[in-house]
Amino acid sequence: MYDVEKIRADFPILSREVNNKPLVYLDNGASAQKPRAVIDAITRSYEMEYANVHRGLHFLSNLATENYEAVRGKIARFLGAGEDEIVLNSGTTEGINMVSYGWAAPRLQAGDEIVLSVMEHHANIVPWHFLRERQGVVLKWVDTEPDGSLDPQKVIDAIGPRTRLVAVTHLSNVLGTVVDVKAICAAARAQGVPVLVDGSQGAVHMKVDVKDIGCDFYAITGHKLYGPSGSGAIYVTRERLAEMRPFMGGGDMIREVSKDAVSYADPPLKFEAGTPGIVQTIGFGAALDYLEALGMENVAAHEHMLADYATQRLKGLNWLNLQGHAPGKAAIFSFTMNGAAHAHDISTILDKKGVAVRAGHHCAQPLMEHLGVAATCRASFGLYNTRAEVDTLIEALELAHDLFA
């Protein structure tokens, strides 16, 4: 049985008050809170087990290396991949930039195309703009439907003879839309076009199997998965790893260095230059252990319940404009309010009631333009949120509406 109150007790910060009100944390889409197991793993690593990895023969270095490398296996199991297909990094932004610099830049020429959806996060837009600015690559955009869904056939139809990559989110950080990436990958693969999937949100809200999806790249970030900031990974197929040049140069990614030449380590170490985020990665591993113990299917079921309940309550506010209502959407809700109230003002009022939401463009300005809004408020739910917190959100929104009305 999924005992949400017992789960909440695992997160120390959820017991605190904000502005003399119990904290209702609904900013999980930006970053999730950390369970005690993660905090303890970080503390233990710094207090009793810290050393640099891969470089020493002494006890602490071996122990740190063992703990750090164990996380690669945990991520591989979490995504259904092989350990040698997991590149450890600081998060999705680094992972996508690695693909842009290491795989796409050497292959794409002026006039070659990258297909994107309009609801991508900036982390899955800006690295491709670099190629547009520097190499004349063309970005082809696919719009969302009126309900906020993304028609996979429209993405497939956008693939042409000059398409070299499809880069698409698994789950929108603004609308909660779940994208049928499996269908997109199957059609793209039939045409010889690789697909990069931004899994920053998708891996948080559902069980992921990259082999079943059929993608070439799948990026995740640790701090959204209840782990530390500065941790993450990207899955890359062996075929694509073999095609990639190193993203950064330095220690650990080399085999030999001389005055006249350099040879590189085998993947994935070839793409992991320098001293990594050792403790952050170990903390990420503890977060994955925590999620595995809960079961991602159970997490998904709990969040679907919250999504259904929140949808019902929010739709009862006829002065609230919900953005996106795609079938099967995740528990992420972006909204504006009738009248002159700005998203930042709404967020400030909600904060006075202890309710933490996001306000702004959510690093998705092309989507904001497509929706015809400058900014929205976003309430994003996680595995520890409750129906009672949905009710508190509604009460806070009603207060905000009364004040602005």
The residues annotated with a catalytic role in the active site are 363
3-state per-residue secondary structure call for the chain: CCCHHHHHCCCHHHHCEECCEECEECECCCCCCCCHHHHHHHHHHHHHCCCCCCCCCCHHHHHHHHHHHHHHHHHHHHHCCCHHHEEEECCHHHHHHHHHHHHHCCCCCCCCEEEEECCCCHHHCHHHHHHHHHHCCEEEEECCCCCCCCCHHHHHHCCCCCEEEEEEECECCCCCCECCHHHHHHHHHHCCCCEEEECCCHHHHCCCCHHHHCCCEEEEEHHHHCCCCCCEEEEECHHHHHHCCCCCCCCCCEEEECCCCEEECCCCHHHCCCCCCHHHHHHHHHHHHHHHHHCHHHHHHHHHHHHHHHHHHHHCCCCEEEECCCCCCCCEEEEEECCCCCHHHHHHHHHHCCEECEEECCCCHHHHHHHCCCCEEEEECCCCCCHHHHHHHHHHHHHHHHHHC
Structure tokens belonging to residue 392: 């508190």
Radius of gyration of the chain (CA): 22
